[in-house]
Amino acid sequence: MNNKKNDLIAGMNCGDVSDHLSDYYDGDIPEELCSKIEQHVESCTDCYAVFNTFNKTIELYKEEAEGVKVSDDARHRLHTVLHLEDLLKDH
């Protein structure tokens, strides 16, 4: 039996990551937890896809989107996690 959803990556499963997703973007969680989420996302294709989709939403709507509040720090971290550093350099 191989149930990927229950795999722990960096001490978190996918449910833990999605639970903390909005806090992550708010920049409202401890550094240690941020690092764990980032380690998980870099090793988990499912969560990587979720982050990537969320990132595109942010880039598309930026500050105009109501209810989407992302700190600059979180945005920068997100780009690093998704290996989109080149995107930041262009701006």
Residues interacting with Zn ion, by CB under 5 A? 14, 44, 46-47
Within 13 A of 79's CA, how many CA atoms are on the CB side? 16
| 44 vs 81, beta carbon nearer Zn ion | 44
Distance in Å, CB of 5 to Zn ion, minimum: 8
| 8 vs 88, beta carbon nearer Zn ion | 8
Give CA 25 to chain center in angstroms. Answer: 7
Distance in Å, CB of 29 to Zn ion, minimum: 17
Distance in Å, CB of 78 to Zn ion, minimum: 15
